[in-house]
A and B are shown apart, each in its own frame.
Chain A
Amino acid sequence: MRIMRWLIVLGLAAAGGVYLMARPKPLAAAAVAELTGDAVHGEQVFWAAGCASCHMAAEAKGEAELVLSGGQRFPSDFGTFIAPNISQDVEHGIGSWTLLDLANAITRGVSPKGEHYYPALPYASYAKMEMQDVADLYAFLKTLPADPTPSQPHELGFPFNIRDSIGVWKLLFLSKNWALPGNLTPTATRGRYIAEAMAHCGECHTPRNLLGGMDTTRWLGGAPNPSGDGRIPNITPGKLAWSAADIVQYLTTGFTPDFDSVGGHMAHVVENMARLPESDRQAVAEYILAVPSVE
């Protein structure tokens, strides 16, 4: 009986501990206080990070890709996420955000009100971004138009509609460690930064464990398509027998080595990558070829 009581006390203490540890952890204001953004470089960050691919209206083309009104739907095992408005509209977008708000959102998954965001926003990748790049991105976003379309709530079932549970997810899976650790050549190091921190390749190409975290032991080893159509391919060197030139050409034109063309969401990625300097696509190719093969 007495043991029971102790167990209850211990259990409550443990739950309390997890609760405290799982609280949103925003950055200290000092993290960005000294930074001044460069909007020109920020545009490169914007395309590398693929912001528009998810936050523009469905099927937007050309200039309309820069109207980040949200509304695209992303089905998953946990329910359907609907991309919010991140245009400069003060009421419905992020027009009132400070640089610190943006940095918290994309590198910590924490909203200006201090709530957890769902990891459909790929902050598990963006967590590895340099704060200077976030500042540059902020400066570029400030140059984009406002749009008054209201954001729609996500369509999630229980228990995934409880945002507190995301804190536990973050404890398990939010890390600043590279999936491909160690010293790489300068080119591959740049490629790692683009692929892992900004372009968030792993979010689709790496299989997830039962709790929805990326399985870094099978990094880029292919995964089921969350939208239900087929599989996202294994792009590790053992499976994708492409040369660096093949990868660069694919990321520039969308053509595979046998001149089939890119489709699906990857077509957005190619459009984004094609806007970067060729040296960046070379860097990504070198990085991909340095990733361990996954069977």
Chain B
Amino acid sequence: MRLVLMIVAAGAALASGAFAEDEDPFADTVEIRHGLMLQMASELGKVGAMAKEEAPYDAAVAGKAAANIVAIASVLSMDQFPAGSEYQKATDSFALPAIWEKQDDFLTKIADLNTAAAAFQTAASTDLASLKTGMEGIGGACAACHKAYRQPEE
């Protein structure tokens, strides 16, 4: 009985998965993008709490978070942005068509984020003042891309 239930459940899961894929070929793509951004937000939360002095400054924790930010930034590329996975074409996508129209600039902004992240990795494990200043560089890089290439949510 239990086995039957499990098979039925597995079958239903497969079917719904297959259905979702039929419906939107970019479902995984968009989920990966959002997951990367959420992981970025999670790492930033650790150093952000220190910048706001809501958590004590800890060079090791800050350094590890910054290393993770460097790693996430290094993953970003056109691989997560296949043609067609844009706002109003792919479900839950906020990626503006300008990404593909001005791909060189988009990639420059990703490169800028990697540069800012590398600088932040040094700053975050130096002291609190450097961490605070470094946050501005990361924030600027995030905003530069979001300003140009993300549909505002509300």
A interface residues (Cβ-Cβ under 8 A, vs B): 59, 225, 229-231, 233, 243, 245-246, 248-249, 252-255, 258-264, 267, 270-271, 274
Contacts and interface: CB of A to CB of B under 8 A. Distances in A.
B53 interface: yes
B33 interface: no
Nearest to B40: A259
Q: Is the interface of B mostly helix, strand, loop or mixed?
A: helix
Contact of A263 (B42, B44, B54, B143): B143
Given A253-B138, A253-B139, A261 B52 contact: no
22 contacts: A230-B152, A230-B153, A231-B154, A245-B54, A249-B135, A252-B132, A253-B138, A254-B143, A255-B48, A255-B135, A259-B44, A261-B139, A262-B139, A262-B143, A262-B146, A263-B146, A263-B147, A263-B150, A264-B152, A267-B147, A270-B139, A274-B140
A255 B154 contact: no
**Those 7 A-B pairs whose CB atoms lie nearest each other, nearest first:** A253-B139, A259-B41, A261-B142, A267-B147, A230-B154, A245-B52, A263-B146
B124 interface: no
A245 B52 CA distance: 6
Contacts, number: 72
Given A249-B51, A261-B146, A263-B143, A255 B152 contact: no
Nearest to B132: A252
Contacts of B138: 253
A154 B12 CA distance: 59
Contacts of B151: 229
A231 B153 CA distance: 9
Q: Which of A230, A264, A274: most chain B CB closer than 10 A?
A: A264
Contacts of B54: 245
B136 A274 contact: yes
A267 B143 contact: yes
A55 to B, nearest CB: 18
A8 to B, nearest CB: 52
B150 to A, nearest CB: 5
B147 A264 contact: yes
Q: Which of A246, A249, A263, A274: most chain B CB closer than 10 A?
A: A263
Given A259-B41, A260-B41, A261-B146, A229 B152 contact: yes
